[in-house]
Structure formats: C-alpha cells, structure tokens
C-alpha cells in the first residue's frame, strides 16, 4: 500500500493533525485535555521532575513529593472523577475522527480508574500511577510503597545541578519519612479490612526495609553528584542527618509493622482471598488487557500457546543437535553451558551491558526497512539499582525526560548473571529498547498533533507490552537471528515465557494455585532459572492481571496486522501499518477499530 493512500484513508485527522478540519468541539476537547495534563502534572511532583517540567512556575515541585496517605489516594481518584464529568460535556458526535480517538481513549482510561477505585477502596494510589492504580492492591509489598519507589526516584531522577537542587533534594529526603509513615498507617488500616500481601512478600519487604535502614546510598550518591558538578557544601553530612533523624526511624516503624502483620498474613498468593476478590481479579484482568476476556478464556489461551511454542522450540533444539531429554531439560542445559554464561562479577555485568548495546546498534540499522518514522530516541542501558534488585522486575523501560536532559533507559536486573545466558539477551534488547518500548514511545512522543495527556499521561499495558513482544518478533523478521540460531531459540523461549504468564497469573488469582505450584509450572515450562522465575511469580502476586497483558497484546497486534494484510493484499505496506504508532497508546478495543476502519 502506498503510504500516501494510507494517510488519506486514515485521515489527516488521525495521523497528520493540523491538516485536518477542526471543529469548535475539537478545539474545546483539545483545550480540556491540555488542561487535564497540566492539572495531572501539578498533582504529581515526581512526574514533573521525571519529565523535566519542574521549572518556572513549577519550580516548587522539585522539593515536593506526592501524598501517599489513604486520603491522597482518595483525592487522586476524586480528581479523576471530576475530570471524567467535565469530559463528558463534550459532544462526541461533533468531533473529527482524530478527536474522537482522543475522547474515547481518555474516557476509557478515566472511567476504568474511577469505577475500580469506587468499587475497591484499597490499594496503592500515587506510587502506582496510571499503569496499576486502582489494581495494585497492597500499599506495602516488595514492589509497592514509597519506601520502594521514592529512594530510586531520588537517586535516578532528581537533578543535582545547582545549590537549589541540593536543597530541594534534602527537603524531599525529609518528606520520604512522612510518606513512609503515611503508607504504614494505610498498611495497618487495610490489613484490618482483610487486605494484606502474602506472608512471603511481606518477608521480602522486611528485608528490603532493613537494607534501606542500614544504607547510606542516598547520601553518598547525592554528595557524589554535587561534587561532580562543583556544588560546594557539606551535603553528605546534612543528608546523613536527615536519614538518621527522620528517614531511618520511619523505615524502622514500617518494618516493625510489616513484621507484626507478617505473622498474621496468609500464604496464598491470589487476590481471590481479598474482599470481593474474584470480582477484583476479573476487573483487574480487564483493566490490564483492555479486553473482555474472562480468566478462564485467558487460562485456556495460555495452555494452547504453551503447547504450540514448546513444539516450535523442540524443532529448533533438534536442529542444533540438542535431542536428549524434554524441551525443558534441554533449555536448562543450554542455560548452563559455559559459552552462554557471564561471570557473576562487575566485569561480567559490564559484558552483558556491552552485548546488549551491540544488539541495539545492529537492529537500529535495520529499522528503516520497516518504519517510515525514524525517531532519534536516545537511550541507555543500565542495571537495576542493587538496593532494589531483590524485588524488582527482571527488566523494564523508562522514557526520557521531555527537556532532553535524561535519555530513555532500559533497566536489566543483574542480581545474578546466571539468570541471563547469552542466547536470552537479544530479544530483551528488542523488547525494552529498539524497536520496542523506547522506539514506540519516541514515535508517539514526536506526534505533536496528539495531546500531551495522551502522549504522557495515559498508558495501556496490553498495547505497550504487546508491542514489546511484537518488537521481539520484528527482530526475528529483520534477520537478527540469521547467524544466531541460539538467539532465535531465546526469542521463542521469551514468547513461551509470556504464554506461561497467562497460565500462572490466572492460575493463582482465579484458580487458587499456590505460589509453589505456579513457580514449579513456570520453571518446568520455560526452562529458565528458578531464582528469576520466583521473582516473576512474586511480581504477579502484587500486580494481578498485568502479566497477561503481554501475550494478549501480542496476539492482538499480530491479528490486526494479518487482518490488514489479507484485506489489502498487494497494497499492504509494513511501514504504513507501523505508522499507527503515531496515534499513541490505545486500549485494544480502540486499536482494533482504528486499524480496521482507518487502514483501508
């Protein structure tokens, strides 16, 4: 398909923005969405800093943190409800095609958040953000709570360029204590309601709290940054004082509360045990996948896809002469082969990062073959901070700041290098970096016709994580594994890993599987090291349904691409299909409509 035909068919209103005829209702909607964006940034000092927007009239935000109390959570959703009411005063029928997409996306996001928050009055608020709230049920766990989120934020995102920045850092460091105390209060109150993380997650949280209490990394890193840019002052002494007088006592209070509650916590991993828990999971699954799939349907899909992918991996292993034992046993053997392992040392970790950077450079050179829009998308690959790696995900991406001062990043958890055999690494690079999250995010961000609220303020896991898996497949389709047959096995193992998630997430939360059963199934089905798989299972306990978004989203991207290919025949052009990224993140129900009605 000629790209000009696609742009005309999709409508300049969808992809070209300013060229489209704009109604007065379009202008009203755009003004409202821009106002919402400003309000949301005003409400979130951490987001303002992360995006480089805490300057000028917002300079005060550089010394603030969000309200992590139960009141803060309630107020956050009340503001969202108010915005939803204002949005519904718009006459959708009077909007252009592009504005209807903007309207539908934001209404969907706000309505899902408000409906969930009003029905289930517990869980994280500001720390969870739009990706998890209101379906991050535990205010404190190994992955949730300000004790976990704010230290990483201070170390990696708070700028230290002037003396004023240093003073702001110290103010925020003091505020960390209050945020932790607020979450401790919420923890106790919600435990009394029957909402408490499983005992093994509280045990992990207690360990991480102990590490935070014993660490001076926040003051050391702060002082190092100040010295690096020549800001004079006894910053470390002042930060140490804040840690000693405020932060550590608050951390110890939270740890004491966690330890006391751990003795009463249940061991079952699923949210079915929470108040109205079965409904909670069904809603969480719908929220994360942006579909109406039931837990049973997702579970069956997972089982079917695990079987199919296992068969494909078996054939590739046999082609490499690996024929003895089950597929899992052969994958385990491959995991342990000396030529696939990196030393569990700083030098070994540096080799992993260098290898990933090499894969990114290779695939970046191939992308003009399948993309019309080629963003600059600066990116760096870094390890997850050791202070949080015990509970952190194995890998995750972070977008760049809007001011261009901080590039996009993708983080890899290097707690144990044995969890990252060489053949498993390329597909991770394609998922988190190019053409995955960093690439997709940069294309969407460059589409200035899309309101900033949609470029930065909403997110749909099934779209984004589904694209991440689709990006892994593009790596294969672009020939990245033509000279790396073991890497292709790693790619299929990655898809298998995500199919397994469909089984274990629904298994724990809907079918009442134990943690042990879920972990055993994941290790047996994927052949991946148990340590990494245990962290994965524990992550799914905290964010129910989110793990299903990957493969559900991947299935949707592939189905929609094939639908377009079948409808258009010889006119189909992959570059034009990928221009849909300029529309921004969408619920799958909206993505389906956009592709089917606009790509003609």
Considering only CA atoms, which of 149, 190, 187 is closest in space to residue 45?
A: 149
The rounded distance, in Å, linking the Cα atoms of 468 and 479 is 17
According to DSSP, the β-strands at 379-383 and 408-412 are parallel
On the 0-12 / 13-18 / 19+ scale of CB atoms within 10 A, 273 is middle
pLDDT tens for the chain, 600 residues: list them.
333 322 233 333 344 344 445 789 999 999 999 999 999 999 999 999 998 999 999 999 999 999 999 999 999 999 999 999 999 999 999 999 999 999 999 999 999 999 999 999 999 988 777 778 899 999 999 999 999 999 989 998 999 999 999 999 999 999 999 999 999 999 999 999 999 999 999 999 999 999 999 999 999 999 999 999 999 999 999 999 999 999 999 999 999 999 999 999 999 999 999 999 999 999 999 999 999 999 999 999 999 999 999 999 999 999 999 999 999 999 999 989 999 999 999 999 999 999 999 999 999 999 999 999 999 878 999 998 887 777 677 788 888 877 777 888 889 999 999 989 999 999 999 999 999 999 999 999 888 889 999 988 778 999 999 999 999 999 999 999 999 999 999 999 999 999 999 999 999 999 999 999 999 999 999 988 888 899 999 999 999 999 999 999 999 999 999 999 999 999 999 999 999 999 999 999 999 999 988 765
Query: Could you tell me the two tokens for 17?
Result: 């923005």
* Sign of the Cα pseudo-torsion (102, 107, 108, 114, in order): positive
The pLDDT value recorded for residue 4 is 31
Instruction: Say if CB 430 and CB 494 are below 8 A apart.
Output: no
Distance from the Cα of residue 430 to its chain's centroid = 15
Instruction: Say if CB 475 and CB 426 are below 8 A apart.
Output: yes
Considering only CA atoms, which of 469, 519, 476 is closest in space to residue 494?
A: 469
The rounded distance, in Å, linking the Cα atoms of 330 and 328 is 5
Q: In the sheet that 379-383 helps form, which strands lie side by side, from edge to edge?
A: 379-383, 408-412, 395-398
Q: Which long-range contacts (CB under 8 A, 24 or more apart) does 519-525 make?
A: 523/328, 524/328, 525/306, 525/310, 525/328, 525/496, 525/500
Helix (H, G, I), strand (E, B) or coil at 411: strand
Considering only CA atoms, which of 124, 84, 136, 99 is closest in space to residue 454?
A: 99
Query: Which residues are paired to 381 by β-bridges?
Result: 410
Q: How many CB atoms lie within 10 A of CB 21?
A: 8
Instruction: Say if CB 415 and CB 211 are below 8 A apart.
Output: no
Instruction: For residue 14, report the phi and psi dihedrals to the nearest 5 degrees.
Output: -85, -45
The per-type count for the chain, helices as H runs and strands as E runs, is 27, 3
> CA dihedral defined by 66, 72, 78, 80, rounded to 10 degrees?
30
The pLDDT value recorded for residue 1 is 30
The rounded distance, in Å, linking the Cα atoms of 573 and 352 is 36
Place of tokens 């261009």: 404
Q: How many CB atoms lie within 10 A of CB 386?
A: 14
The pLDDT value recorded for residue 13 is 38
The rounded distance, in Å, linking the Cα atoms of 207 and 181 is 18
Considering only CA atoms, which of 217, 193, 18 is closest in space to residue 98?
A: 18
Exposure of 338 in the CB half-sphere (CA atoms within 13 A): 0
Considering only CA atoms, which of 193, 487, 500, 203 is closest in space to residue 328?
A: 500
> In terms of residues, how long is the chain?
600
- CB neighbour list of residue 35: distance below 8 Å, 6 or more residues apart: none
The rounded distance, in Å, linking the Cα atoms of 157 and 51 is 9
Is pTM beyond 0.85? Reply is yes
The rounded distance, in Å, linking the Cα atoms of 242 and 240 is 5
Query: Could you tell me the two tokens for 62?
Result: 């550089």
Q: How many CB atoms lie within 10 A of CB 60?
A: 11
Distance from the Cα of residue 163 to its chain's centroid = 33
The rounded distance, in Å, linking the Cα atoms of 392 and 204 is 11
The pLDDT value recorded for residue 458 is 75
Element holding 383 (H helix, E strand):
strand 379-383
> CA dihedral defined by 130, 131, 135, 139, rounded to 10 degrees?
-80
The rounded distance, in Å, linking the Cα atoms of 149 and 585 is 24
Q: What angle do CA 546, 550, 556 make, to 5 degrees?
A: 125
Prior bond to 134 cis, omega within 30? yes
Helix (H, G, I), strand (E, B) or coil at 381: strand
Query: Could you tell me the two tokens for 403?
Result: 């001011």
Place of tokens 């078996």: 314
The pLDDT value recorded for residue 599 is 65
């Amino acid at each position: 398909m000629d790209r000009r035909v696609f742009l005309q068919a999709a409508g300049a209103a969808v992809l070209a923005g300013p060229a489209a005829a704009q109604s007065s209702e379009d202008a009203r909607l755009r003004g409202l969405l821009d106002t919402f964006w400003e309000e949301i940034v005003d409400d979130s000092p951490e987001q303002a800093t992360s995006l480089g927007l805490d300057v000028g009239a917002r300079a005060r935000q550089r010394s603030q943190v969000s309200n992590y109390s139960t009141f803060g959570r309630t107020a956050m959703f009340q503001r969202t409800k108010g915005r939803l009411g204002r949005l519904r005063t718009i006459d959708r029928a009077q909007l252009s095609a592009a504005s209807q997409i903007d309207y539908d996306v934001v209404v969907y996001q706000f309505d899902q958040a408000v409906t969930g928050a009003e029905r289930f009055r517990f869980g994280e608020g500001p720390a969870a953000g739009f990706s998890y709230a209101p379906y991050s049920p535990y205010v404190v766990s190994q992955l949730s709570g300000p004790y976990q989120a704010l230290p990483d934020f201070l170390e990696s995102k708070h700028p230290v360029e002037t003396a004023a920045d240093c003073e702001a850092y110290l103010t925020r460091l003091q505020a960390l204590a209050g945020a932790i105390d607020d979450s401790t209060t919420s923890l106790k109150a919600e435990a009394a309601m029957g909402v408490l993380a499983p005992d093994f997650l509280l045990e992990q949280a207690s360990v991480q709290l102990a590490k935070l209490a014993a660490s001076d990394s926040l003051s050391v890193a702060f002082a190092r940054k100040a010295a690096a840019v020549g800001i004079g002052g006894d910053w470390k002494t002042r930060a140490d004082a804040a840690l000693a007088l405020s932060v550590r006592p608050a951390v110890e209070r939270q740890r004491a509360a966690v330890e006391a509650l751990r003795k009463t916590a249940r061991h079952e991993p699923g949210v079915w045990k929470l108040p109205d828990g079965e409904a909670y999971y069904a809603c969480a699954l719908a929220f994360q996948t942006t579909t109406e799939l039931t837990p049973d349907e997702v579970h069956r899909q997972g089982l079917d896809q695990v079987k199919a992918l296992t068969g494909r991996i078996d054939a590739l292993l046999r082609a490499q002469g690996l024929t003895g034992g089950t597929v899992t046993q052969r994958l385990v053997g491959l995991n342990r082969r000396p030529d696939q392992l990196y030393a569990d040392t700083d030098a070994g970790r540096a080799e992993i990062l260098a290898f990933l950077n090499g894969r990114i450079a290779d695939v970046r050179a191939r992308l003009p073959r399948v993309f019309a829009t080629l963003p600059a998308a600066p990116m760096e690959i870094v390890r997850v901070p050791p202070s949080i790696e015990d509970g952190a995900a194995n890998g995750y991406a972070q977008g760049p700041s809007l001011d261009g001062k901080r590039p996009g990043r993708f983080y890899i958890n290097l707690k144990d290098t044995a969890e990252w055999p060489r053949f498993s690494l390329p597909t991770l690079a394609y998922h988190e970096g190019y053409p995955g999250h960093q690439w997709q995010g940069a294309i969407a961000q460059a589409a200035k016709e899309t309101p900033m609220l949609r470029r930065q303020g909403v997110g749909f896991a099934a779209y984004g994580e589904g694209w991440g898996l689709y990006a892994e497949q593009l790596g294969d389709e672009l020939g990245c594994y033509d000279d790396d047959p073991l890497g292709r096995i790693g790619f299929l193992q990655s898809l298998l890993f995500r199919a397994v998630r469909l089984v274990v997430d629904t298994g724990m939360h809907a079918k009442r599987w134990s943690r042990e059963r879920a972990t055993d199934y994941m290790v047996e089905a994927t052949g991946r090291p148990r340590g990494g798989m245990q962290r994965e299972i524990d992550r799914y306990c905290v964010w129910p349904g989110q793990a299903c978004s990957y493969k559900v989203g991947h299935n949707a991207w592939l189905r929609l691409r094939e639908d377009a290919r079948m409808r258009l025949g010889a006119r189909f052009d992959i570059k034009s299909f990928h221009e849909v990224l300029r529309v921004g993140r969408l619920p799958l129900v909206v993505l389906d409509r956009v592709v089917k009605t606009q790509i003609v």
